[in-house]
Amino acid sequence: MVEIPTSTKQHDESRQGEALLLEQDPKKSDGRKLYIESYGCQMNFSDSEIVASILVDKGFETTRDYREADVVFINTCSIRENAEQRVRNRLKEFESAKAKNPGMVVGVLGCMAERLKSKFLEEEKLVDVVVGPDAYRDLPNLIEQVDEGARAVNVLLSREETYADISPVRLNSNGVTAFISIMRGCDNMCSFCVVPFTRGRERSRDPQSIVKEAQDLFMAGYREVTLLGQNVDSYKYAAPATDGGEPEPAINFARLLEMVAQVNPLLRVRFSTSHPKDITDEVLHTIARYENICKYIHLPVQSGNSRVLELMNRTYDREWYMERVDAIRRIIPECGISTDVITGFCSETEEEHRDTLAMMDYVKYDYAYMFAYSERPGTLAAKRYADDIPEEVKKRRLTEVVDKQREHSLGRLQTYVGKVHKVLIEGLSKRSDQDYCGRNDQNSMVVFPADTRYKVGDYVNVYTDRCTSATLIGRIVD
């Protein structure tokens, strides 16, 4: 993956592993230590919080050091081949630690667990337990099986599981921003993607449980939530009819977005990710209507050419995507837009590649996540199409896309210079403890001198007078 430096890592689908820690009351622990390392998309990090909640409830405490852990989990991503290789390398490091601590339980969670269960358990024998995304409730039982000397696996997919009744612990939290998972799975059978096979079919969570989680987070001091799903726009929940009465109207994503925004005007709302086929005008008007719904949409294009989009089974064409961008610009003129781009997909020609570059010029994305095509076993593309673009051509096209996006990212940031932005203070800048940092509505990172009148979690108005290639720089104004 190649990524333009941005204000956030939230959309990075090949993110490096990150150890997750819960600050907890030692009185509630029985001393058994849990280490979780997460890779991949936001959903994986959200799932790790669910796993931690389940095991903390059973008496575990978390640690930042896998060498002192009794149970080590790696929450995995199958989106890109290099992500899988990093996970394998990491498991070998855990294997060395286990040699010194034979009682250590090592497990793989998430998308790779479902896809590569037999390799992990039987062929490579790197792990003791393999658990798919819909089987986390079974973890205490599976760990017990390993304690008794067996290897354990549960990768069954579910049509009902949403973990709606589990209150996720907030791992490595800044106390200001949090994720809320609103749905699981995906029904979009994009030919390059393994998600429908590793996470199952779409199912939406009860909206009341989502609103309650947002309310609880606000009462706990959080000031921003990001609603998560493989495709949030397809959210739809219909409550079952009771006592033979008429069923209540279904709640769609636009209505859910409004319900969360109404929790409190001081609670910022973001969401990810949108599929271009489902980003309706109703959703756009809802965003425009509420000041606390951030004016930012991640809208993956993947390719700017209609024939390639059809091969990808994206269910829209070039013109449809451009019309949706036009609608965003018309209804939410100040909206930031980011995207995903794949270069070198099966049979892509030079002219079709230039269509992608032209699409980037048309939209001028704030930032993008850009990849050379990586064939994933089991996907529709792997079964139907030859991966026939030479690696050097993929990489050259990727370089052209990256160079184009660098130009646009800087250009977009420059349009924000000379303006006042409402910024939620998320913490101190990584480069200086004399500066605060936070994001504006469009998801751009803003850095400004710390002011003792304000603290983390406060909203401030920041006038930006310059920018780097990735960051707005300014000062607090009244």
Q: Are residues 284 and 349 in the same domain?
A: yes
**Alpha-carbon span 211 to 214, nearest angstrom:** 5
**Each residue's pLDDT tens digit, 464-478:** 999 998 999 999 998
* Domain final position from 416, 438, 460: 416
Mean pLDDT score of the chain, rounded to an integer? 87
In terms of domains, do 198 and 312 share one?
A: yes
Between the CA of residue 52 and those of 20, 142, 347, 448, what are the distances in Å?
9, 15, 44, 35
CA distance 13 to 81: 11
Distance CA 452, CA 471 (A): 22
The amino acid sitting at 290 is Y
In a domain, 172, yes or no: no
What is the residue-wise DSSP string for 155-206?
Answer: ----SS---TT-----TT--SSEEEEE-EE------TT--HHHHH-S-EEPP
Percent of all residues in the chain with a pLDDT value above 70, rounded to a whole number = 87
- Give Cα separations from 140 to 20, 45, 159 (angstroms): 19, 20, 22
Average pLDDT over residues 147-174: 79
Q: Does the structure show a pLDDT above 90 at 80?
A: no
**Is 405 within 8 Å of 360 (Cβ atoms)?**
yes
Q: Within this chain, do residues 85 and 202 fall inside the same structural domain, yes or no?
A: no
One domain, residues 319 and 460: no
Q: Are residues 75 and 95 in the same domain?
A: yes
Q: What's 292's domain CATH number?
A: 3.80.30.20
Of the CA atoms within 13 Å of residue 450, those in its CB half-sphere come to 15
Strands 183-184 and 203-204: antiparallel
Over residues 169-185, the pLDDT tens digits come to 776 678 899 999 999 88
Percent of the chain surpassing pLDDT 90? 58
pLDDT given at position 434: 95
- Domain limits at 204? 177-237+249-416
User: Of 416, 433, 449, which one is at a domain's C-terminal end?
Assistant: 416
Q: Residue 354 and residue 362: Cα distance in Å, rounded?
A: 12
411-469 residue pLDDT tens: 999 999 999 999 999 999 988 999 999 999 999 999 999 999 999 999 999 999 999 98
306 confidence band (pLDDT: 50, 70, 90): very high
Mean of the pLDDT values across residues 129-158?
87
What is residue 100's predicted lDDT score, i.e. its pLDDT?
86
Q: Residue 120 above 90 pLDDT?
A: no
- Residue 210 phi, psi (nearest 5): -70, -45
In a domain? residue 352: yes
Overall number of domains in the chain: 3
331/425 same-domain check? no
For residues 199-214, average pLDDT: 92
User: Does 294 share its domain with 408?
Assistant: yes
Q: What is the pLDDT of residue 199?
A: 79
- Are residues 190 and 145 located together in one domain of the fold? no
Name the more confident of 415 and 161.
415
Instruction: Output the domain CATH number for residue 466.
Output: 2.40.50.140
Largest CA distance in the chain: 64
pLDDT band at 15 (very low <50, low <70, confident <90, very high): very low
Q: Considering the domain boundaries, does residue 386 fall inside one?
A: yes
Closest to 398 measured CA to CA, from 436, 439, 353, 432: 353
Looking at per-residue pLDDT, the higher value among 347 and 90 belongs to 347
Does residue 166 lie in a domain region?
Answer: no
The secondary element (H helix, E strand) that includes residue 425 is strand 420-428
Residue 128 and residue 214 share a domain: no
Q: Which of 87-91, 262-266, 357-361 has the lowest mean pLDDT?
A: 87-91
Rounded Cα distance, 304 and 386, in Å: 20
| pLDDT for 166 beyond 90 | no
| Segment (H or E) for 358 | helix 350-363
Average pLDDT over residues 39-46: 77
